[in-house]
Structure 1
Amino acid sequence: MTAFWTEPDFDDHEVVHFVRDRASGLTAIIALHSTHLGPGAGGTRFWHYPNPKDGLRDALRLSRGMSYKNAMAGLPLGGGKAVILADEARTKTPELMAAFGDAVEGLGGRYVTAEDVGISEADMVAVSKRTTHVSGLPVAGEGSAGGDPGPFTAIGIYYGIKAAVRHKLGKDSLHGVHVAVQGVGSVGGGVAKLLAKDGAKLTLADMNAERAARMAAELGAEAVDADAIMSTPCEVLSPNALGAILDDDSIEALDCAIVAGGANNQLARPQHGQKLFERGILFAPDYVINAGGIMSVGTEYLARRDGRAADVAEVHTLLEQIPGRLEAIWSASEAESVSPDVVADRMAQELIGRG
């Protein structure tokens, strides 16, 4: 595992930091992909990996995605990500979070952490007691940026779905458009509620079938088994759970015109973007459409660093730019006959000085 530079997802990362604190039981990986635009910013994932190499893969892929996401979001931030390798019981203690905060502090500001899967706002508060290089803290007052990034991520995805429907289907309204939503947690559930307000027809699925059923009843939607959502006939598939769900088999089974959702690293491998393109399925690159969360916590962190108030209006201004970025990517994709993910990667690489 120490020869991380031989991993297929290693992409000239500046730092891959392995953390072990025996007293608290903390085992973590902090990966910094690029600090070309500013400190590497990205959330912390708390997850049990039966094979620790999968945790390293996530840290490498997610940190690279954050470099691209922050650059394409117009933020003066680089890309980083942390993965805490939880035990099978997902034991989380104050001592473990304190040790993680110390590890972040030890990087001297090169990494700024926030929430991701398995981490709560309360966890970020605990981490903030050991380091100032943290974001996603409770909102200081009405109109302030910060707090749970999930709702902002959902808004950006909603904007992106509207743009995709307009671009691919020629429709200015989501009324009656069939969207299959995979994952109805903080982000996917928020997306589903926004779509429902616009009159979209919804099919929902989640690993927690009871949660999907509850939300379906609330929104007047249909719930299906988690293993059925990827092949559900629909106009838009919106993946909002874990990544690497678009591979040879799943792409072949898709029955949709658009894939637009908030899950990170949806393409199992780079060639799968081309496979979607060849099938005529419009793909919204995930790190562009799901940037709302980092827009919120990034604005919060940068404002606090600069000694000013973090205005939520700044976040909404950034969110409103997501559809235009997607349109530029899709237009270039069609003009050059290359998949949207290739276009987006090229744009991001140029922004971080690797073009």
Structure 2
Amino acid sequence: MKKMKPFDFMEEFDHEQIVYFYDKTTGLKGITAIHNTDLGPALGGTRLWNYETEEEALLDVIRLSRGMTYKAAVSGLNLGGGKTVLIGDPSKVKSEGYFRGLGRFVESLNGRYITAEDVNTSTGDMGYVAMETNHVVGLNGKSGNPSPITALGALYAIRASLKEKFGTSSLEGKTFSVQGAGQTGYYLIKYLLGENEEKDKAKKIYFTEINETYIERMKKEHPDVVFVKPEEIYSLDVDVFCPCALGGIINNDTIPQLKCSIVAGTANNTLKEEKHGDALKKKNILYAPDFVANSGGLINVYHELKGYNKEAAIADVKKIYDRLLEIFKISKEKDISVNIAAINFAEERIKQMKNIKPSYLNTKKN
């Protein structure tokens, strides 16, 4: 990839704002990207990762924040897209001061950006952030850990994909491979095993994971779920491949290996490039766009902003099923890849809401 500077990325991905921040005392070092705020304040989690280069971190936060814009728009939420990445070793940098420093930075953005937990950050970490700012969601005592709800949304995306591909949304008789079993993948496997509202369950599940603790947990709790080496997960002959780890795993190297009928999971930016959606289409593999399939977590924390009610949040998460069927329909009617159909769906909502000229509303309080 050619060497690019922040403004190059902002122009290519159409971003509003990129902010670098640093605190010498705690070692806090990160980047916040605000992609689009046409629908409302940007919301997106804080990811802590030991990036090899600053450019790698910048590209990640750029792609992730744009995905959040699409995720919010396609979900019918009054939110924009943003994201924060922190650069550091998760085993070394975490502390109360570290995350309170993050909270002070978030507060300085004056509500343009709302954060939450993400990879290598937790609800406990966000509790420290909340000591310094109100612009944080996914807190203990409110909506809490979003992973089970994100996985639930992915389950409904899988059901919609099964309905589209096989004519039935049932898990019965179907085989699955799950990449990543730490958080969302762990809960998704539980749902696939029958811990869901319908009580239906998969015929066979394979999983891969690089964290030994998570591997041993799965083997202990669910010995029938078969572990495979990370490099073997792509070539398994299954009905559904569920990416639930990091992004960019659908690419020139992995697509030729795929033997599945459906790709649907919780990972962000599953496609390394947009062209890989076309490659899946040519291979007759149905793709559930990541920002639709994994939108359950965002929908859940959005309800926290309104006054959290779990039943209402889950009811909205279940709408992923019908939303995805509508996107599949657009893809077929226009003969375009599903990921492009989903982007068009999201951008059309942003355009419509941006162009609305509302009647006068008296906002003065009595």
Name the TM-score, length of structure 1 as normaliser: 0.93
Aligned match for 1:199, one of 190, 198, 201:
201
1:53 aligns with 2:50: no
CA distance in 2, matches of 1:157, 1:271: 23
Counterpart AA for 1:211: Y
Counterpart AA for 1:283: Y
CA distance in 1, matches of 2:243, 2:11: 22
Counterpart AA for 1:319: V
CA distance in 2, matches of 1:253, 1:209: 25
Q: 1:241/1:101 Cα in 2 relative to 1: closer, same or farther (>3 Å)?
A: same
Number of aligned residues: 344
Q: Deviations over 1:190-210 (max 9, x none)?
A: 000000112201011111255
Q: Which runs of 5+ in 2 are unaligned?
A: 195-199, 355-366
CA distance in 2, matches of 1:327, 1:158: 14
Alpha-carbon offset, residue 212 of structure 1: 2.9
- Once the two structures are superposed, the pairs formed by residues 306-345 of structure 1 within 5 Å of their partners are 309-345=307-343
Give 2:26's aligned residue.
24
Alpha-carbon offset, residue 155 of structure 1: 0.4
Q: 1:39/1:88 Cα in 2 relative to 1: closer, same or farther (>3 Å)?
A: closer
Give 1:179's aligned residue.
176
Give 1:208's aligned residue.
211
Give 2:226's aligned residue.
222
Alpha-carbon offset, residue 53 of structure 1: 1.0
Q: 1:50/1:16 Cα in 2 relative to 1: closer, same or farther (>3 Å)?
A: same
Alpha-carbon offset, residue 353 of structure 1: 2.6
Aligned match for 1:263, one of 259, 267, 276:
267
Aligned match for 1:233, one of 225, 230, 237:
237
Alpha-carbon offset, residue 88 of structure 1: 7.5
Aligned match for 2:81, one of 73, 79, 82:
79
1:147 aligns with 2:149: no
CA distance in 2, matches of 1:166, 1:254: 20
Alpha-carbon offset, residue 213 of structure 1: 4.8
Q: 1:191/1:88 Cα in 2 relative to 1: closer, same or farther (>3 Å)?
A: closer
Alpha-carbon offset, residue 216 of structure 1: 4.2
CA distance in 1, matches of 2:91, 2:309: 39
Alpha-carbon offset, residue 89 of structure 1: 4.8
Alpha-carbon offset, residue 229 of structure 1: 0.7
Q: 1:210/1:231 Cα in 2 relative to 1: closer, same or farther (>3 Å)?
A: farther
Contact in 1 for aligned 2:300/2:317 (Cα 8 Å): no
Give 1:94's aligned residue.
96
Give 1:253's aligned residue.
257
CA distance in 2, matches of 1:329, 1:93: 43
Q: Which runs of 5+ in 1 are unaligned?
A: 141-145, 304-308
Q: Which moved more, 1:248-257 or 1:79-88?
A: 79-88
Counterpart AA for 1:48: N
Alpha-carbon offset, residue 61 of structure 1: 0.4
Contact in 2 for aligned 1:204/1:216 (Cα 8 Å): no
Give 1:279's aligned residue.
283
Give 2:362's aligned residue.
none
What percent identity do the matched residue pairs reach? 39
Counterpart AA for 1:342: I
CA distance in 1, matches of 2:329, 2:201: 28
CA distance in 1, matches of 2:106, 2:350: 23
CA distance in 1, matches of 2:22, 2:79: 27
Contact in 2 for aligned 1:10/1:60 (Cα 8 Å): no
